[in-house]
């Protein structure tokens, strides 16, 4: 169950009740209500208040709802009072099944009179005044209401489940990235393993997780770390499992998942482990280690962040190996670690590019250089940051893998150090007038063995040549830098997705969720400074008939056209959104009713004068017009619901008075 989805559903439910003049409520599969009733029938209320009949009602209605939950079709039911009721089961992944009950209406006046007579005789108190007195509806209209409910609920809960899924994936990715940054503070391998394994077990609901560090080229540096349910059993499997895991990664060359009993047996895994999902990491093109999850799976959406985190672990493992093995290089490694810590705090892609390049140049004491990234679409290396290179040269430089020095490094996937370019047999360059020295260093940036760019440096400040110590220091940074760069690109794309998430995909206008947030902000601002504003609800007239006549494709085109007209008619600081299938909302900041009416009338007239509509036989067969209802804050309502209720009331009043026009809320419009 998704609590936010049900909280937001009640707003939809209230709108359905106002639209259809029917009662609506939502239940779980056991027939228990979830939240409040919308548009409650006075007859049903009176019946429930009768102590002698309440248990009878709960038994019959409860069974009716449970029966609906057990199937996949809408059910219809006549209660003892004569009210017609329907129940629609709605099922969505991640939410389960709920039942939306509605109706509570009579087919005609005889049924109504009979129910009144029965309630009066039993001594019940009921005052079915206003719209409830004449709420008569046939089976055909009830079927239409069922379809309306099914469509609204399916769309609402579908979007809610999708939003929850994306939010869960995003939270996992952010947690992994944040944990990666924190791991920079773990000085010893047991601490790093503990934090990593605890994090990924919690995020991916794994029975057990392991970190193996295999060592490089037969080196003794390594070890196995386990956390979870099968920790002791895996430790007992010991070297057999470690050797089998390393062998499988050498064969596959990439991550693998298997639930095959034969594979599980060959890996020497305990019998109650049904599956393993293992991710390798590398150091200097050699298999360095692996992170494994047992009895779980990882979705495609979560893969990039998990792999980035694991690659970060690989980089940290590599740094610790270098620190332990080469004591005299402590100073250089400390500088690399400081740079990694700085990268962990960055999110913006351009900042990450600049930070990595500037710190690398500082570490190597290089006067010239460039950071080039591989464009996935054009498959070209392009300069992102440079030093000692003109803007014209930077913008025009494009290299395919294999072209030039950087292209060769990208194609080969291996770094290159040149002490004397003019006399190096691998190169054919004789003149380099732009450079002061003949030495340079070029290093590929990799993520899981995949080339994403190249770092190039030349001209040491001291005039010395680049050597293996420089390469080791730069290599200690490169894997972290590649992960940070990919993280920055991911964050940049995520920000684009966030911007897209506030727009209606068809019209390009703001969506209802974002509009509500802006409306609440405007209410707070209005209270603070004492300035009123207006809310306008803009509804298309005869929209259902329009759909029926011309079809969905023509209607979508018409909606885009009307949206464009509305966007062109409003002021710069006005906020326009699509609020439903056939409705738009408009926020007019710091504008009272007196000034809003002429403005919205111009908007209405611009749509009418455009004669925008679908065609039939070469001629305009129909045109779309709008009716607009206005309410003012705080005069017509001091909360979100009141403002909308009163704007819709004004809208209904305008339509009842016979015309496509603008109407403001009046107190006597309240239903």
**What CATH code is carried by the domain that includes residue 296?**
3.30.450.40
Distance CA 47, CA 23 (A): 15
Q: What is the pLDDT of residue 631?
A: 92
Beta strand ranges found along 106-252 (DSSP E): 208-213, 223-228
One domain for residues 309 and 341: no
One domain for residues 54 and 203: no
One domain for residues 487 and 607: no
Q: What is the pLDDT of residue 523?
A: 92
Query: Would you say residue 633 has pLDDT above 90?
Result: yes
Q: What is the pLDDT of residue 147?
A: 87
Per DSSP, the three-state class of 329 is helix
For residue 162, being part of any structural domain is answered with no
Distance CA 161, CA 151 (A): 15
For residue 164, being part of any structural domain is answered with no
Distance CA 613, CA 305 (A): 47
Query: Would you say residue 332 has pLDDT above 80?
Result: no
One domain for residues 240 and 278: yes
| DSSP string covering 557-582 | HHHHHHHHHHHHHS-TT-EEEE-SSS
- Mean pLDDT for 437-466 is 83
Q: What is the pLDDT of residue 632?
A: 93
pTM of the model: 0.32
Q: What is the pLDDT of residues 351-385, one digit of tens each?
A: 777 787 888 888 788 888 888 888 878 888 888 88
Per the structure, the count of domains in the chain is: 4
| Strand duo 223-228 + 208-213: pairing | antiparallel
Distance CA 504, CA 565 (A): 16
Q: What is the pLDDT of residue 129?
A: 52
Quote the tokens at residue 183. 């791991």
For residue 506, being part of any structural domain is answered with no
Q: What is the pLDDT of residue 585?
A: 94
Last residue of a domain, one of 496, 528, 545: 496
One domain for residues 46 and 151: yes
Torsion of CA 539, 540, 544, 546, to 10 degrees: 180
Q: What is the pLDDT of residue 321?
A: 66
Q: What is the pLDDT of residue 219?
A: 39
Mean pLDDT of the chain: 77
Distance CA 34, CA 42 (A): 20
For residue 505, being part of any structural domain is answered with no
Q: How would you write 1-30 as a 3-class SS string?
A: CCHHHHHHHHHHHHHHHHHHCCEEEEECCC
For residue 175, being part of any structural domain is answered with no
* DSSP state letter for 213: E
Give the C-alpha distances (Å, rounded to integers) separating 574 from 219, 550, 635. Answer: 67, 32, 20
- Mean pLDDT for 3-24 is 80
Query: Would you say residue 328 has pLDDT above 50?
Result: no
Lowest-pLDDT choice from 297-311, 447-461, 527-541, 577-591:
297-311
Q: What is the pLDDT of residue 439?
A: 85
Looking at the chain, the whole-number percentage of residues with pLDDT higher than 90 is 6
For residue 179, being part of any structural domain is answered with no
Distance CA 63, CA 73 (A): 15
One domain for residues 23 and 112: yes
Last residue of a domain, one of 323, 351, 372: 323
One domain for residues 528 and 475: no
Distance CA 426, CA 449 (A): 24
One domain for residues 399 and 491: yes
Query: Would you say residue 621 has pLDDT above 60?
Result: no
Question: Which domain range does residue 298 map to?
Answer: 186-323
Query: Would you say residue 125 has pLDDT above 80?
Result: no
Burial of 479 (0-12, 13-18, 19+ CB in 10 A): buried
Last residue of a domain, one of 136, 157, 178: 157
Pick from 8, 294, 39: nearest CA to 163: 8
One domain for residues 309 and 377: no
For residue 579, being part of any structural domain is answered with yes
Torsion of CA 103, 109, 113, 119, to 10 degrees: 10
- Mean pLDDT for 17-27 is 85
One domain for residues 461 and 387: yes
Q: What is the pLDDT of residue 444?
A: 87
Query: Would you say residue 501 has pLDDT above 70?
Result: no
- Domain containing 661 — which CATH number? 3.30.70.270
One domain for residues 318 and 336: no
Say how far residue 257 (Cα) sits from the centre of its chain: 26
Query: Would you say residue 68 has pLDDT above 90?
Result: no
Q: What is the pLDDT of residues 233-269, one digit of tens each?
A: 888 887 888 888 888 888 887 888 888 888 888 888 8
Lowest-pLDDT choice from 57-61, 342-346, 360-364, 655-659:
342-346
Q: What is the pLDDT of residue 338?
A: 66
| Percentage helix, strand, coil for the chain under 3-state DSSP, each rounded to 5 | 50, 20, 30
Q: Are 16 and 23 in contact (CB under 8 A)?
A: no
For residue 177, being part of any structural domain is answered with no
Residue bearing tokens 């991710």: 279
Distance CA 425, CA 428 (A): 7
One domain for residues 464 and 603: no
**150-164, 165-179, 311-325, 380-394: which has the highest mean pLDDT?**
380-394
Q: What is the pLDDT of residue 358?
A: 83
| DSSP string covering 49-117 | H-HHHHHHHHHHHHHHHHHHHHSSS-EEEE-TT--EEEEEEEEETTTEEEEEEEEEEBSSHHHHHHHHH
């Amino acid at each position: 169950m998704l609590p936010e989805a049900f909280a937001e559903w009640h707003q939809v439910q209230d709108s359905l009740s106002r639209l259809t003049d029917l009662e609506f409520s939502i239940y779980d599969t056991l027939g228990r209500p979830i939240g409040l009733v919308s548009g409650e029938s006075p007859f049903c209320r009176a019946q429930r208040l009768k102590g002698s009949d309440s248990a009878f009602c709960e038994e019959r209605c409860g069974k009716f709802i449970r029966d609906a939950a057990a199937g996949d079709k809408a059910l219809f039911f006549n209660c003892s009072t004569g009210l017609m009721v329907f129940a629609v089961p709605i099922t969505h992944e991640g939410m389960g099944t709920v039942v939306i009950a509605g109706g509570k209406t009579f087919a005609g006046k005889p049924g109504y009179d009979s129910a009144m007579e029965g309630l009066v005789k039993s001594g019940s108190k009921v005052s079915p005044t206003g719209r409830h007195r004449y709420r008569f509806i046939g089976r055909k209209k009830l079927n239409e209401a069922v379809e309306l409910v099914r469509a609204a609920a399916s769309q609402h809960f579908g979007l809610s489940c999708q939003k929850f899924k994306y939010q869960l994936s995003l939270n996992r990715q952010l947690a992994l990235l944040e944990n990666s940054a924190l791991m920079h503070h773990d000085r010893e391998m047991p601490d790093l393993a503990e934090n990593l394994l605890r994090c990924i077990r919690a995020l991916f609901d794994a029975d057990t997780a392991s970190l193996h560090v295999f060592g490089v080229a037969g080196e003794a540096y390594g070890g196995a770390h386990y956390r979870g349910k099968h920790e002791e059993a895996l430790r007992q499997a010991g070297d057999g499992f470690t050797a089998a895991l390393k062998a499988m990664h050498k064969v596959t060359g990439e991550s693998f998942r298997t639930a095959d009993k034969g594979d599980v047996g060959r890996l020497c895994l305990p019998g109650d482990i049904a599956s393993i999902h293992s991710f390798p990491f590398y150091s200097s093109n050699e298999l360095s280690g692996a992170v494994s999850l047992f009895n779980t799976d990882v979705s495609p959406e979560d893969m990039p962040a998990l792999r980035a985190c694991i690659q970060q672990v690989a980089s940290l493992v590599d740094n610790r190996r270098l620190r332990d093995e080469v004591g005299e290089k402590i100073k250089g490694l400390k500088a690399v670690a400081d740079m990694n810590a700085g990268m962990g705090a960055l999110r913006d892609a351009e900042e990450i590019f600049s930070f990595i390049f500037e710190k690398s140049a500082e570490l190597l004491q290089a006067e010239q250089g460039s950071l080039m990234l591989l464009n996935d679409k054009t498959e070209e290396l392009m300069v992102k940051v440079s030093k000692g290179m003109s803007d014209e040269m930077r913008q025009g430089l494009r290299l395919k893998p294999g072209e030039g020095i950087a292209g060769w490094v990208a194609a080969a996937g291996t770094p290159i150090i040149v002490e004397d370019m003019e006399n190096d047999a691998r190169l054919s360059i004789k003149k380099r007038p732009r450079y002061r020295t003949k030495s340079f260093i070029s290093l590929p940036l990799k993520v899981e063995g995949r080339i994403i760019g190249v770092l190039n440096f030349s001209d040491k400040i001291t005039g010395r040549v680049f050597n293996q110590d420089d390469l080791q220091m730069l290599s200690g940074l490169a894997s972290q830098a590649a992960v940070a760069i990919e993280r920055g690109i991911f964050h940049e794309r995520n920000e684009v997705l966030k911007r897209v998430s506030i727009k209606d995909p068809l019209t390009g206008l703001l969506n209802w969720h974002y509009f509500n947030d802006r409306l609440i902000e405007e209410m707070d601002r209005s209270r603070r400074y004492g300035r009123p504003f207006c809310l306008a609800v803009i509804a298309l007239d005869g929209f259902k008939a329009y759909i029926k006549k011309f079809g969905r494709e023509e209607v979508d085109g018409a909606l885009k056209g009307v949206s464009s007209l509305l966007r062109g008619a409003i002021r710069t600081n006005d906020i326009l959104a699509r609020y439903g299938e056939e409705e738009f909302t408009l926020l007019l900041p710091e504008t009272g009713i007196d000034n809003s009416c002429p403005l919205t009338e111009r908007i209405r007239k611009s749509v009418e004068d455009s004669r925008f509509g679908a065609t039939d036989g070469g001629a305009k067969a129909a045109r779309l017009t709008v009716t607009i209802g206005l309410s003012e804050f705080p005069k017509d309502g001091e909360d979100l619901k009141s403002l909308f209720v009163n704007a819709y009331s004004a809208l209904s009043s305008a339509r009842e008075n016979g015309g496509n026009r603008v109407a403001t809320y009046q107190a006597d419009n309240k239903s």
